[in-house]
Structure 1
Amino acid sequence: MLRMMNDFELRALRQEQRDNERAKWFIASKRREQEKEVRDERAEQNVGDLAASLVVADPIEVKSFRADLDTYDVATIEAIMENREILERLYRERDLLLERAYKQDDGTRVFKSEDGVRVFDDHGNLVSPDRVDPDEIADHYPSAESYLEQLRLIEQHEAIDQNLIGYQTQLDDARDRLDSGELSQSEFDDLRSSIENNMPVEVRRKLPDYDPTQQAELKTKFSASATHTAKLSPADMAIDPTMVPGLG
């Protein structure tokens, strides 16, 4: 059975109830203010993004970038031609090594390592001693190291060729986007940054404003190859270092 409250207790209970309600209202009000601030920030950001997307790319910047694309295109073509000359030379030198290689009865060409314990086939795969005894290969034949290095250089420059072709496609796509005339300033800035940031070093070296000090980075890139080349005997070495960037 409920106990009857006196006036003092009733007033105290009602005051507590009002305090709780005010506290809840205050918390709810603060939460609504925070949510409004978040909505306002998002709306402001959206307006800014929309405004940026509606601004057409500056015609003067577009014209300048189009001229840059032409320069990049010429540099890319020169880089492709130079790299393919290197590849042709590497292919010829590889074929020369294959002609001089030790041939088994079935015509298979194999190469013995300089330490005399391993044998590799013409694809660079390790051959089991059960198939080919290293002792049957005389030391005057080209070594596995010289041949494997040749394969590595070919693979490296084939990858460079593919990268250059891919960059040339990016230049064509960028020119098409400029021709569309539908680029916003933001899209134009992103396109220009992408083209400049993705430029292969082989292309950058061909540009008129290329900084020669960057050559140090290229030499570091090929230093391991140069060190290994120095260890090969003249009889085994069929690579012309002057044809490989950073080795000459």
Structure 2
Amino acid sequence: MADEPHIRERIEADKRRKRDTVRQRNDHERKEELDDKAEAAASAVAMAVASSPPAAAQQIAAFEADLTIYDTATVDALMANDRKLAQAQAQMDAMLTQAFVTEDGRRVFRTEEGTQVFDEFGTEVGADELDPASIPDHHPTWEAFSPARDEHAALLEERQTLLDYQQQLDDAREALVEGEITEAELEELQAQLIEGMPEAVRASLPDNHPAAQIEAVVQAATTPNSPTTDGPSLDGLQGFAPPTPPGA
């Protein structure tokens, strides 16, 4: 029946796959746009330095260049996420085609010990509905399907985190367009973007970028037997100025 929960869930899963296809196309288009922006940003920074404008103008130009770098790294991370999602989905689909199908159309998996049954969405099917022993041994087990399902869910969560961060970058760029921004506001905005950067984005940054350097400092500070400090220092990192404490 059309009102069965598992049927509605399957319809929603199909819709999500279609949306992912559209997003993949959008990611590629944004990647091409960012390549053009990167060239323009590099030229803008070079002109700003050459003409020796006020310091604030130089900082804004440098920040705009950073935004393009962060945006490019985010798109790279999204495209990598797309590839992993496609692989995880293919792995799930392969097992779903081999899954045992109940009379009402549910695709289910029995545990290896043969005492429990779960459907493709992780809902347990009681023994009063389906005897686990009635599922032939050649069908995939829950222990085989569950990790692939969990990985797919984690990748979807990562994708949403990346999309949220991409929106932060768009908001930061909009803040620059709206009008004048103070040095303190600019430094605070940059610090927020660096501290809130998803690991998948940070891993896609150039190795010599300040945000990547900060991650290296954090890892060194948390390594066993490393000198004890109050926290990783941001001093000396090229291109990054920590925000000025209130009242300083």
Q: Give the TM-score, by structure 1 length.
A: 0.60
Q: Shift of residue 57 of structure 1?
A: 7.7
Q: For 1:120, what is the secondary structure of its paired residue?
A: strand
State the distance in 1 between where 2:84 and 2:112 align. 26
* Higher mean displacement: 74-83 or 181-190: 181-190
Correspondence for 1:48: none
State the distance in 2 between where 1:76 and 1:161 align. 10
Correspondence for 2:187: 189
Correspondence for 1:170: 168
Trace 1:148-163 onto structure 2 (pairs within 5 A): 148-163=146-161
Q: Shift of residue 123 of structure 1?
A: 1.1
The one-letter amino acid of 2:199's match is V
The one-letter amino acid of 1:162's match is Q
Name which of 116, 119, 138 aligns with 1:118: 116
Name which of 124, 127, 130 aligns with 2:125: 127
Q: For 2:105, what is the secondary structure of its paired residue?
A: coil
Asked if 2 retains the 8 angstrom alpha-carbon contact of 1:57 and 1:186, the reply is no
State the distance in 2 between where 1:67 and 1:89 align. 33
Correspondence for 1:59: 57
State the distance in 2 between where 1:172 and 1:134 align. 51
Corresponding pairs, count: 159
Asked if 2 retains the 8 angstrom alpha-carbon contact of 1:57 and 1:183, the reply is no
State the distance in 2 between where 1:109 and 1:179 align. 52
The one-letter amino acid of 2:68's match is D
Correspondence for 2:202: 204
Task: Name whichever structure is richer in helix by fraction.
Answer: 1
Identity value in percent: 36
Q: Shift of residue 84 of structure 1?
A: 1.0
Instruction: Output one character per residue of 1:40-66: Cα deviation in whole Å (capped at 9) or x when no partner.
Output: xxxxxxxxxxxxxxxx98222211111
Q: Shift of residue 107 of structure 1?
A: 2.8
State the distance in 2 between where 1:81 and 1:141 align. 33
Q: For 1:126, what is the secondary structure of its paired residue?
A: coil
Instruction: Output one character per residue of 1:67-112: Cα deviation in whole Å (capped at 9) or x when no partner.
Output: 1111111111111011011111211211111110112233321100
Trace 1:67-86 onto structure 2 (pairs within 5 A): 67-86=65-84
Q: Would the alpha carbon gap of residues 120 and 204 (structure 1) be closer, same or farther in structure 2, given more than 3 Å must change?
A: same
Name which of 139, 145, 168 aligns with 1:141: 139
The one-letter amino acid of 1:163's match is T
Q: Are 2:104 and 1:106 equivalent residues in the alignment?
A: yes
Asked if 2 retains the 8 angstrom alpha-carbon contact of 1:57 and 1:188, the reply is no
Q: For 1:106, what is the secondary structure of its paired residue?
A: coil
Asked if 2 retains the 8 angstrom alpha-carbon contact of 1:73 and 1:171, the reply is yes
Larger Rg: 1
Unpaired segments ≥5 residues, structure 1:
1-55, 218-248
State the distance in 1 between where 2:60 and 2:105 align. 60
State the distance in 2 between where 1:126 and 1:147 align. 14
Unpaired segments ≥5 residues, structure 2:
1-53, 220-248
User: Which of 1 and 2 has higher RCO (CA within 8 Å, sep 6+)?
Assistant: 1
* Higher mean displacement: 58-67 or 76-85: 58-67
Q: Shift of residue 138 of structure 1?
A: 2.1
The one-letter amino acid of 2:80's match is E
The one-letter amino acid of 1:70's match is T
Q: Give the TM-score, by structure 2 length.
A: 0.60
